Structure 1
Amino acid sequence: MMRRFSAALVTIAACVVVSFAATPDGSGRADDPRLGLHATETPKPPSTSTPRGNDSCQHANDNECDEPTIGTGLCRTGTDNSDCRRLRAGIEDDSCQYANDGECDEPRIGTDSCVQATDATDCAAIIWMRNLNDSCDTSYNGVCEEPGVGNGACAARTDRSDCHGRERPATIDDHFYGRDDRVRIDPQQAPWRFMGSFTNGIGERCTATLISRDVIMTAAHCVSSEDGIHPDGTFAPAAGGPTARSIAYLISTTFDYQRFIETNEVDAHDWALVRLNRPLGEELGYASVRRFTRRELAAPQDVNLQQAGYSWDTGDLLSANIDCHPIQFYDDGAFAHACDTTQGDSGSGFLIRSGRRYHLVGVDSKFRSNPGGPAKSIAVGSGAFFDHVADFVAGRTGRPANSSPR
């Protein structure tokens, strides 16, 4: 999902940041540059820099405090001063230019447009979530395992849902619709073993799903950036084992990255097919692609969707939604859904189970602003790309992954 980030771009699963305003038919320009893609995520590497000043850490000035104890711990104490000084002093104020606009603009819990602790009034209801996540391997097991309050099996601040509950303020920018219903799953079992991470040619990571023996489905923005197309990359199955390199790709000729991050006009074109150099699906299996049926389109809340992705706040393991549903289908082929997806889930597939088979019916994409209510999570319906799948799988279409057409 996409948002506007000020210094570091994280999450369009690597990320961009922008805001989208939905019109009745799902098209139109954005009216606020501060929302975002479910997007790609470029995880911050541990800092190895030698302190040379108050902001000497490589992660300094990204609006998020990265010092130990009060922040992410990626920087040494005293090397991320601009981002951490208010937290260190215990000061919460409204000094950000976007303060008092009714929207929390802090990193992770908001739009990422303000330095932490500079949007106090707008973030008051969700400040308790600052620097908390569910990255512990045993999160979502119903047992608090943080030091001091649990058995210490998890590091401090990494077992949020089990230690603090699953209820979430409606204003949170991660769009859990009042409650985080995600679960941990066994990546060795279907359909989760069909899934994995796709890291593109510039190091941005998204989620992807096997749809044939050697083809994965992801989002177009996961192979694109402001600098062009980057389809060369690596698919790593969630189940472990061998990885595979991309050798060909196909995206809609209508997709334009800049239009995508600035408007809603090409949302239904945010899909990408990627061919791999290894037939991983022969061992792992894969989902077939089908369209939503007329009955499903007529009654979206009766449709049971399953989804899993590499959410920014759940570590390197998949987090999953096993019982969520579409909210609204748009005329352009996109749809809004009530699944708890967030940054890092971009490109993940929405599956419907039929007996022992699984069908992919959509791909996770972005957030759209929703005046008067929580932002909507948007996906691309399979009807937008269904007609392209068979020819690509057969090798009749696609471009070499090492080519740069634009």
Structure 2
Amino acid sequence: MRHLALTAALIATPLTYATAQDASLNPTFGVQDLQAGFATDPNWVYLLAGGLEQRSFTDAISGDVCRGYFADAPDYRMVFTSDGGPLSITAESHDDPVLLINGPDGRWYCNDDSHGLDSAVTFAAAQSGTYDIWVGTYGDPQGDYPGAQLSFTQLEPFEAQIRRSFFGEDDRLVMDVTQAPWNMIGYVEMQSGSCTGTLIAPNIVLTGGHCITNLGEQDNPPMRFSAGYQNGASVATAGVTSYHVPELWRLAEQEGMDFAFFYLDQPLGDRLGWMNIGTLTPQELAGFANGTGPDILQAGYSADRPGILTGNLSCPFVELASQNRLVHECDTVQGDSGSPLFIQDASGYRLIGVESHTNFQPEQEFDMNVAMYVANIVAEYQALTRTGPAASAVPAPVTK
């Protein structure tokens, strides 16, 4: 599972060079031989990222410094027979992977944040020989090592990921943030990193729960909300006075509860408007089932288009799955966490889901994009604002 929050980019400050990473040790997750022209491209393997040691390395290609927490032994070893052509090695994870490689020439190669938060090292003319590989994490994993996908490709780096994430074609458009409903969506500056949020009341914004906290982690509070943010300017900006994350997410990361509210120090919604939150009607669900449902819209601050609000005007609906999950085919990537999925109805715009995460499905044609269906959000909001009975959330109907 990959959450779509965008964490702070690394500001590279050279540290004392250290080589605790020992290429003579046996790799933890395996060894394989690859020859140029390998049939399954990308060739990939799952492993666990991170380690106990924080180290800094300088990439032999770019000169950039990258820093992360690595294990002592290589995570993986690949012995490559080259034809003189290119080779890219990539690392994908929900927890900001840092890729480190000791090449056949004995030099160190590293990368952090090449495609969103995912990492890649490309050898324009790859050498034959042994590539010892570490997949680290930018933050201290504190013994909870996240899953990661390590890939080898002679295509463009992340070509397969982009194809899977965008369902074959990128349909995102740049939105006019001076107009509704796009001016109700904004850039959420966290204490570290960013997410997307939506006005749902004059001074209340809805975003992703994992943007603020995950199980056992220290909170990463929202600091500022910039409505209609585009290229460094915004329609309106406000500070944050407080926030609320459901206890079922904070204490258990319960599926269906990955959302949060925060309160602004100014009622921006009085000027810009806000979206209602509400469940889909049986008629709307039936319409989605037979292909006549309302258009689903989405917009957020994708990591590959920094500072620009891009979105989808007609996302395919897939299903309402168990545990209040809305599975969809909006083109979303890291940075879109907390972004709204919504429809237009007679009373305005109705938010029906909040973007949460992407499930890797490398063995499938496409990945699975998952939003939190609004049923739990409505119940939590009613209890929080006392606008209705503080009853337990009604589970979403499961259409599968």
What is the TM-score with the length of structure 2 in the denominator? 0.62
Indicate the larger mover: 358-367 or 50-59. 50-59
What corresponds to 1:90 in structure 2?
Answer: 125
| Structure 2 counterpart SS, 1:367 | strand
Does 2:261 match 1:273? Answer: yes
Summarize deviations over 1:200-238 as a string: whole Å, max 9, x none: 23x121000000100000111011144233334221212
Structure 1 residue 184: deviation in Å?
0.6
Report the identity percentage: 24
Structure 1 counterpart of 2:109, one-letter code? S
Does 2:177 match 1:177? Answer: no
Summarize deviations over 1:300-351 as a string: whole Å, max 9, x none: 3534111111101012111111111320111311111010001110000111
Structure 1 counterpart of 2:156, one-letter code? W
Q: Which runs of 5+ in 1 are unaligned?
A: 1-18, 20-35, 66-79, 100-110, 131-167, 261-265, 398-406
Change (3 A) 1:112 1:254: closer
What corresponds to 1:188 in structure 2?
Answer: 178
Change (3 A) 1:177 1:89: closer
Summarize deviations over 1:95-132 as a string: whole Å, max 9, x none: 47799xxxxxxxxxxx9644xxxx43xx34xx3256xx
Q: Is the 8 A contact 1:37 1:365 kept in 2?
A: yes
What corresponds to 1:59 in structure 2?
Answer: 66
What corresponds to 1:328 in structure 2?
Answer: 319
Query: What's the RMSD between the two structures over aligned residues?
Result: 3.6
Q: How does 1:349-364 map to 2 (within 5 A)?
A: 349-355=340-346, 357-364=348-355
What corresponds to 1:382 in structure 2?
Answer: 374
Structure 1 counterpart of 2:267, one-letter code? P
Change (3 A) 1:256 1:278: same
**CA distance, structure 1, for counterparts of residue 125 and residue 16 of structure 2:** 23
**CA distance, structure 1, for counterparts of residue 132 and residue 330 of structure 2:** 31
Does 2:283 match 1:295? Answer: yes
Q: Which has the higher contact order (CA 8 A, sep 6+)?
A: 1
What corresponds to 2:242 in structure 1?
Answer: 248
Summarize deviations over 1:128-169 as a string: whole Å, max 9, x none: 256xxxxxxxxxxxxxxxxxxxxxxxxxxxxxxxxxxxxx75
- Structure (1/2) with the larger helix percentage: 1
| Structure 2 counterpart SS, 1:345 | coil
Structure 1 residue 192: deviation in Å?
0.6
**CA distance, structure 1, for counterparts of residue 361 and residue 259 of structure 2:** 23
**CA distance, structure 2, for counterparts of residue 242 and residue 299 of structure 1:** 36
Of 225, 228, 237, the match for 1:235: 225
**CA distance, structure 1, for counterparts of residue 368 and residue 226 of structure 2:** 29
Does 2:196 match 1:207? Answer: yes
Q: Is the 8 A contact 1:232 1:247 kept in 2?
A: no
What corresponds to 1:42 in structure 2?
Answer: 8
| Structure 2 counterpart SS, 1:385 | helix
What corresponds to 1:108 in structure 2?
Answer: none
**CA distance, structure 2, for counterparts of residue 58 and residue 86 of structure 1:** 13
What is the aligned residue count? 285
**CA distance, structure 2, for counterparts of residue 37 and residue 173 of structure 1:** 18
Q: Choose 1 or 2 for highest CA Rg.
A: 2
Of 293, 316, 340, the match for 2:331: 340
Q: Is the 8 A contact 2:246 2:380 kept in 1?
A: no
Q: Is the 8 A contact 2:90 2:121 kept in 1?
A: no
Change (3 A) 1:227 1:98: closer
What is the TM-score with the length of structure 1 in the denominator? 0.61
- Structure (1/2) with the larger strand percentage: 2
Structure 2 counterpart of 1:222, one-letter code? C
Indicate the larger mover: 218-227 or 340-349. 218-227
Structure 2 counterpart of 1:210, one-letter code? L
| Structure 2 counterpart SS, 1:59 | strand
Change (3 A) 1:295 1:92: farther
Structure 1 residue 387: deviation in Å?
1.9
Change (3 A) 1:96 1:284: farther
Change (3 A) 1:50 1:39: closer
| Structure 1 counterpart SS, 2:177 | coil
Change (3 A) 1:39 1:299: farther
Change (3 A) 1:183 1:270: same
What corresponds to 1:16 in structure 2?
Answer: none
**CA distance, structure 1, for counterparts of residue 211 and residue 156 of structure 2:** 31
| Structure 2 counterpart SS, 1:268 | coil
Structure 1 counterpart of 2:305, one-letter code? T
